Amino acid sequence: SFVDVEKDPLVVLVTGAAGQVGYALVPMIAGGSMLGPDQPIILHMLDIEPAAEILKGVKMELLDGAFPLLKGVIATTNVIEACKGVDIAIMLGGFPRRKGDSKDLIFRNVGIYKAQASALEQHADSNCKVLVVANPANTNALILKEFAPSIPDENITSLTRLDHNRALNQISENLNVHVGDVKNVIIWGNHSSYVYPDANHATVDIGAGLKPVRELIADDQWLNTEFITNVQQRGQAIIKSRRLSSAFSTASAACDHMRDWILGTPKGTWVSMGVYSDGSYGIQPGLIYSFPVTCEKGEWLIVQGLKIDEFAREKMDAVAKELMEEKAVAYSCLH
């Protein structure tokens, strides 16, 4: 519809903005892919001191993009300046995952997320919505939640939309149908190699209506093995080919996550988001766990009542156990 009254700009923070994902993400945000073509934006980009010069260059490119929606850009290494008045925070910054010790990764990121949580707590809008992308995303989000107690629990989320989109693609390739016609896969749990992509409730629009993926793919074996491992190992496969982590697919998934959260999921469709568990599906409260959700007017709701078979139950519990372990490691360095 024709918009004659311009919306107020939203302040969007991107941490780690000088990195690969940041470089892919900021033009998407400025171009309207995250918040819609009628939503003006003020972008706050934060990175650490050694990346200050790179960040300056990214800012120059953003300005040269002459984006009509972009009403202001701040590029800074000052966390307080970055967090001031933030409505939406996309947390890409963190100590990067390397080969080897995942404990070390958690340790290093706990410090970073504790500090950034305090800055958001004190300087961001009190209804700020947060998406954590940096690995280990679910546990980083949990630390952020702990140290930003005045931000509502439901406003702190982690990214599993990348895994969700990867699962849609696997089914689309297997059935040779368009990815846009595949719906309602579920990503349970953690963004890790334990992630459980579940196609038990997924459907394909075959023109004459929706058909369950389980009916279209007669080969249970593929859905119970390769489909799952392909999604679990996709990040590593991309690193092997590109010699760098996935970047624009991550950025695109972050846009999908925020857009659906804020503007709503289409009727009859759910998506996957890492959210604070309320005990749904027997998952312990106190974890940031990925569930199927529908969204409306900036609020998500976990899809209830889906039938969970034994195979799924086992995988959902295994990934919950991994998250409990990550949580224990994270807390052990807080005290």
Catalytically active residues are: 191
The residue whose Cβ lies closest to ligand LMR is: 235
How near is the Cβ of 226 to ligand LMR at its closest, in Å? Answer: 18
Show Cβ contacts of residue 206 under 8 Å, excluding neighbours closer than 6 positions. Answer: 177, 181, 216
How near is the Cβ of 70 to ligand LMR at its closest, in Å? Answer: 27
How near is the Cβ of 97 to ligand LMR at its closest, in Å? Answer: 4
How near is the Cβ of 234 to ligand LMR at its closest, in Å? Answer: 6
Bridge partner residues of 272 (DSSP): 292
Take residue 170 and report the two structure tokens written for it.
């696997």
Binding site for ligand LMR (CB under 6 A): 97, 135, 162, 235, 238, 245-246
Helices (H) and strands (E) in the chain — how many of each?
12, 14
Say how far apart CA 306 and CA 272 lie, in whole Å.
14
Of 154, 107, 160, the C-alpha closest to 138 is 160
How near is the Cβ of 187 to ligand LMR at its closest, in Å? Answer: 12
Say how far apart CA 329 and CA 131 lie, in whole Å.
22
How near is the Cβ of 142 to ligand LMR at its closest, in Å? Answer: 17
Say how far apart CA 113 and CA 91 lie, in whole Å.
9
Each as own residue / partner, the long-range contacts of residues 310-318 (CB below 8 Å, 24 or more positions apart, any chain) are 311/224, 312/188, 312/196, 312/198, 312/200, 315/188, 315/196, 315/198, 315/228, 316/188, 316/189, 316/196, 316/281, 316/282, 316/283, 317/282, 318/194, 318/196
Backbone CA torsion sign across 183, 184, 185, 187: positive
Say how far apart CA 62 and CA 4 lie, in whole Å.
26
Take residue 306 and report the two structure tokens written for it.
């889906």
How near is the Cβ of 68 to ligand LMR at its closest, in Å? Answer: 31
* Cβ(270)–Cβ(134) below 8 Å: no
Bridge partner residues of 129 (DSSP): 88
**Measured from the CB atom, is 127 or 193 closer to ligand LMR?**
193
Say how far apart CA 11 and CA 14 lie, in whole Å.
10
Say how far apart CA 255 and CA 117 lie, in whole Å.
22
